[in-house]
């Protein structure tokens, strides 16, 4: 009788904890996780300005694993020059594109990109040029372009598809900015 009581206690108390841990590990590894954004390169889309005024975002891993990556999508990826560091930027150049960044515009294959999303800076800073995106890679820009450490400045300019972790979907901190992250260069939502 005592052994049966002990087994019942384990089943009621310990088993739910074990199942919960397994579910959390699965979700974090394959579905979604939270990430801290400590810089202003995506400001104001992601309202972080420094490591002391950071934001926390939800990264949807399934969005990029099951769906296609598209221009304007905000993604989290391993930085090409620092493969253990995660960055968050907006996809601008797709595989095979030629991207030209001028002081006040971005051109894709010679056509001006409609960047009417009000959260994207109107001035691109001083890192200007033309870039040819290789197959299987993407060209990334931060929304706060004058200060963004992005494809224009990296030694390895392009992000491999395999380095993309997921789509930055939602801001969960700061609390006054909770909400979805725009996945478009031409409109907020």
Q: Which long-range contacts link 150-153 to residues 24+ away (Cβ below 8 Å)?
A: 150/41, 150/89, 151/89, 151/92, 151/93, 152/101, 152/127, 152/128, 153/127
Catalytic residue among 39, 41, 148, 184: 41
Task: Respond yes or no: is residue 89 known to be catalytic.
Answer: yes
Task: Respond yes or no: is residue 20 known to be catalytic.
Answer: no
Catalytic residue among 89, 148, 151, 157: 89
| Catalytic site positions | 41, 89
């Amino acid at each position: 009788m005592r052994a049966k009581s002990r087994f019942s206690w384990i089943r009621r108390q310990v088993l739910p904890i074990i199942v919960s841990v397994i579910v959390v590990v699965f979700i974090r590894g394959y579905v979604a996780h939270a990430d801290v954004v400590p810089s202003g390169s995506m400001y104001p889309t992601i309202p972080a300005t420094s490591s002391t005024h950071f934001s926390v975002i939800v990264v949807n891993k399934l969005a990029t694993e099951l769906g296609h990556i598209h221009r304007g999508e905000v993604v989290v990826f391993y930085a090409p020059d620092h493969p253990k560091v995660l960055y968050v930027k907006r996809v601008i150049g797709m595989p095979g594109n030629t991207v030209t960044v001028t002081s006040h515009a971005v051109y894709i294959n010679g056509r001006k990109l409609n960047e009417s999303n009000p959260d994207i800076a109107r001035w691109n800073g001083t890192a200007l040029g033309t870039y040819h995106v290789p197959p299987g890679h993407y060209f990334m820009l931060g929304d706060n372009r004058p200060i963004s450490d992005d494809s224009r400045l990296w030694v390895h300019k392009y992000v491999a598809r395999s380095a993309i972790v997921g789509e930055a979907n939602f801001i969960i901190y700061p609390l006054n900015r909770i909400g979805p992250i725009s996945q478009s260069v031409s409109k907020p939502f």
